[in-house]
Amino acid sequence: MGEAPADSFLGDFLNGVDLKSKGQETAICVGSKIYVIGGADLESTSLIGVRIFDKSSGEWINPIVLGTKPKLSNGHSAVLLNGDRILVIKGNSNSDDCFWFLEVGTPFIGEQERTYGNEVVAWSKGVLGNVEKPIVISGPSGVGKGTLISKLMIEFPSMFGFSVSHTTRAPREKEQNGIHYHFSDRSVMESDIKDGKFLEFASVHGNLYGTSVEAVEVVADAGKRCILDIDVQGARSVRASSLDAIFIFISPPSFEELEKRLRARATETEEQIQKRLRNARAELEQGQSSGLFDHILVNDDLESCYENLKKILGLTEGVKTARKTYPELVDLPIEHSVSKIDQRILINCGAAEYHKASNNMYALDLSLLKGGAPGRTRGLNLYVVNPSTDRVNGDNQLS
Ligand SMILES: Nc1nc2c(ncn2[C@@H]2O[C@H](COP(=O)(O)OP(=O)(O)O)[C@@H](O)[C@H]2O)c(=O)[nH]1
Ligand SMILES: Nc1ncnc2c1ncn2[C@@H]1O[C@H](COP(=O)(O)OP(=O)(O)O)[C@@H](O)[C@H]1O
pLDDT at 271: 94
342 in the same domain as 284: no
pLDDT at 398: 45
Average pLDDT over residues 46-73: 86
The strand pair at 198-204 and 344-348 is best described as: unpaired
pLDDT at 361: 84
Among 276, 344, 376, 378, which one carries the catalytic annotation? 276
98 in the same domain as 232: no
Kindly tell me if the per-residue pLDDT of 42 is higher than 80: no
pLDDT at 389: 63
pLDDT at 1: 43
- Does residue 16 form part of some domain? no
Q: Which residues line ligand 2 (CB under 6 A)?
A: 139, 141-147, 261, 264-265, 299, 302, 305
- Does residue 398 form part of some domain? no
Cβ burial, residue 169 (10 Å; 0-12/13-18/19+): middle
Does 225 participate in catalysis according to the annotation?
A: no
Residue 148, domain extent: 135-313
Comparing 196-200, 285-289, 352-356, which segment has the lowest mean pLDDT?
A: 352-356
226 in the same domain as 195: yes
Kindly give the number of the ligand 1 atom that is closest to the alpha carbon of 142. 20
80 in the same domain as 143: no
276 in the same domain as 172: yes
Task: Report CA(148)–ligand 2 centroid distance (Å).
Answer: 8
Q: Is 149 in contact with 300 (CB distance < 8 Å)?
A: no
- Residue nearest to ligand 2 atom 25, measured at CA: 265
121 in the same domain as 46: yes
pLDDT at 94: 67
323-340 in b/e form (b: 16+ CB < 10 A) is: eebeeeebbbbebbebee
Distance separating alpha carbons of residues 247 and 244, to the nearest angstrom:
10
CB atoms within 10 A of CB 301: 10
Q: Measuring CA to CA, which residue among 161, 143, 93 is closest to residue 249?
A: 143
Kindly give the number of the ligand 2 atom that is closest to the alpha carbon of 141. 23
Q: Determine the residue type at 285.
A: E
256 in the same domain as 225: yes
Comparing 9-18, 225-234, 235-244, which segment has the lowest mean pLDDT?
A: 9-18
Phi, psi angle pair for 237, to nearest 5°: -65, -40
pLDDT at 64: 84
DSSP helix, strand, coil percent of the chain (3-state; round to 5): 25, 30, 45
Average pLDDT over residues 262-267: 94
Q: Measuring CA to CA, which residue among 294, 391, 358, 357 is closest to residue 91?
A: 357
pLDDT at 330: 67
363 in the same domain as 299: no
Kindly tell me if the per-residue pLDDT of 357 is higher than 60: no
> The pTM is what?
0.72
pLDDT at 395: 42
Q: What is the pLDDT of residues 196-239, one digit of tens each?
A: 889 999 999 999 999 998 999 889 888 889 999 999 999 999 99
Average pLDDT over residues 385-399: 54
Does 265 participate in catalysis according to the annotation?
A: yes
39 in the same domain as 62: yes
Kindly tell me if the per-residue pLDDT of 301 is higher than 90: yes
Looking at the DSSP bridge assignments, the partners of residue 393 are none
Q: Examine the fold and report which residue of 257, 290, 313 is the final residue of a domain before the chain moves on.
A: 313
Q: What is the pLDDT of residues 85-98, one digit of tens each?
A: 899 998 766 667 88
Among 169, 239, 261, 265, which one carries the catalytic annotation? 265
Looking at the DSSP bridge assignments, the partners of residue 86 are 80, 102
- Does residue 397 form part of some domain? no
- Does residue 10 form part of some domain? no
Q: Is 142 in contact with 284 (CB distance < 8 Å)?
A: no
Average pLDDT over residues 43-66: 83
Give the CATH number for residue 225: 3.40.50.300
Q: Examine the fold and report which residue of 313, 335, 362 is the final residue of a domain before the chain moves on.
A: 313
- Does residue 277 form part of some domain? yes
Kindly give the number of the ligand 1 atom that is closest to the alpha carbon of 237. 1
DSSP 23: T
Average pLDDT over residues 175-184: 97
What rounded mean pLDDT belongs to the chain?
82
Torsion sign, CA atoms 40, 44, 50, 51: negative
Q: Is 52 in contact with 119 (CB distance < 8 Å)?
A: yes
286 in the same domain as 162: yes
Global ipTM: 0.98
pLDDT at 358: 59
Q: Examine the fold and report which residue of 313, 336, 365 is the final residue of a domain before the chain moves on.
A: 313
Give the pLDDT band (50/70/90) at residue 9: low
- Does residue 347 form part of some domain? yes
- Residue nearest to ligand 1 atom 16, measured at CA: 141
- Does residue 194 form part of some domain? yes
Higher pLDDT, 140 or 122: 140
pLDDT > 90: percent of the chain: 42
Q: Name the closest ligand to CA 261.
A: 2
Edge to edge, the sheet with strand 59-61 lists: 19-22, 25-30, 33-38, 50-54, 59-61
- Does residue 4 form part of some domain? no
Count of structural domains, the chain: 2
pLDDT at 29: 87
Looking at the DSSP bridge assignments, the partners of residue 47 are 71
Cβ burial, residue 206 (10 Å; 0-12/13-18/19+): exposed
Q: Of the segments 37-51, 81-95, 241-255, 320-334, which one has the largest average pLDDT value?
A: 241-255
Task: Report CA(204)–ligand 1 centroid distance (Å).
Answer: 7
Does 186 participate in catalysis according to the annotation?
A: no
59 in the same domain as 97: yes
The DSSP-derived string for 315-331 is: --TT--SPPP-SPPP-E
Cβ burial, residue 187 (10 Å; 0-12/13-18/19+): exposed
268 in the same domain as 367: no
